[in-house]
Structure 1
Amino acid sequence: MAGENSFDIVSKVDLQEVRNAIEQAVKEVRTRFDLKDSHSEVHLEGDQTIQLASADEYKLEAVNEILRQKLVKRGISLKALTYGKVEPAAGSTVRQKISLQQGIPTEKAKEIVRIIKDSKKKAQASIQGDTVRVSSKDRDTLQEIIALLKSKDLGIDMQFTNYRSN
């Protein structure tokens, strides 16, 4: 067995699950007594940004907490969210934008490659766009690398996909 085995490290968010979580959050916001008449909103802008809006920062935080609970229930990692600052909006309301992380940023990809190289395992890691491909002759080495990366907190949500054995 001299073939190469490989897998890809990706960071993707299932947008359909995000939409479902937002719909559930909107339903709960509309029915909660403490958020009545707060003009609270949650909606997806494009495929990258969630917009939150509410009457004040306290209510905005409550809406944010509801959204986080719904995302976790739907299997979306909170590491995939990047929070913008709370900014004032029209009519003395506040809003906040949350960016969804799609793909691994270059600096995180370099950090992943460095961790794999520093582990002294017989594997090669290469950055390919917004994914990192790891290849090795030994499947067990790849499993060890997956375990190593899962044990590190890199601040991003990672999935291990496209596992191939040649």
Structure 2
Amino acid sequence: MPSMDIVSEVDAVELSNAVANTRREVDNRYDFRGKNVEIDFKDKQVTLSADDDFYCQQMVDVLRMNLSKRNVDPGVMKVDEKATHTGKTFSLKVVFQEGIDTEIAKKLVKIIKASKLKVQSAIQGDSVRVTGKKRDDLQAVMRLAKEAELGLPFQFNNFRD
């Protein structure tokens, strides 16, 4: 029986490249000259620090643009609402979400069942396993998952016959 996994992952290499490109662009931009700005990247979490809240927001925009250039969906970014003010610096934390939450997975399974396709779907941790008798049904599920606006980009792994 053909099967596949629906997951939501971030490519760590592309993420690292996007952060490095953001650093380079911020270093070369005229409006950031003379400003104390830092970009720290650890464990799929980016900390943006600057002298002013405005510059933190500008760095988020630059990071978003560089993620788009590297084919990483900026929808996986979770940015703090307000910059944290400590001493002379403001800092924003940007976390990249991986895995499918149980609420979103339940909605996805509900959408698959409502489509009346002859497939079975089951939540397995932070992914959704879909099995069916035909490859065409699984490809229809792929289309459904991409068209569903659930706030996450989906990838499809382990496509087996």
1:136 is matched by which residue type in structure 2?
Answer: G
Indicate which of 101, 106, 117 corresponds to 1:105.
101
**What CA distance in whole angstroms lies between the structure 2 residues aligned with 1:91 and 1:27?**
26
**What is the distance in 2 between the residues matched to 1:143 and 1:19?**
31
Are 2:36 and 1:39 equivalent residues in the alignment? yes
Aligned to 1:27: 24
TM-score by length of structure 1 reads: 0.91
* Alignment of structure 1 residues 1-150 onto 2, 5 Å: 4-45=1-42, 47-150=43-146
Are the equivalent residues in 2 in contact too, given 1:40–1:63 (CA < 8 A)?
no
**C-alpha contact 2:53 2:83 (8 A) present in aligned 1:** no
In 1: Cα distance, 2:11 partner to 2:77 partner: 13
> 1:89 Cα deviation (Å)?
2.8
Give the letter for the 1:24 counterpart: N
Q: CA deviation at 1:17?
A: 1.2
8 A contact 1:10–1:160 mirrored in 2: yes
Between the two proteins, the alignment pairs up a number of residues equal to: 161
Identical columns (%): 38
Q: Is the 8 A contact 1:86 1:94 kept in 2?
A: no
Q: Deviation per CA, 1:63-108: give whole Å up to 9, x if none.
A: 1111111111111111111112223333332111111111111111
Structure 1: gaps spanning 5 or more residues: none
- Render the CA deviation track for 1:49-68: whole Å, top value 9, x for unaligned: 11111121221111111111
C-alpha deviation, 1:21, in angstroms: 0.9
Cα distance in 2, alignment partners of residues 164 and 119 from structure 1 = 22
Q: Which moved more, 1:106-115 or 1:82-91?
A: 82-91
- Corresponding residue SS for 1:38: coil
TM-score (norm 2): 0.94
Q: Take 1:89 and 1:58, find their aligned partners in 2: how far apart are those partners? A: 12
Contact 1:49–1:98 (Cα < 8 Å) also in 2: yes
Query: In structure 1, what is the Cα distance between the partners aligned to 2:82 and 2:116?
Result: 44
SS at match of 2:87: helix
Structure 2: give runs of 5+ residues left out of the alignment.
Answer: none
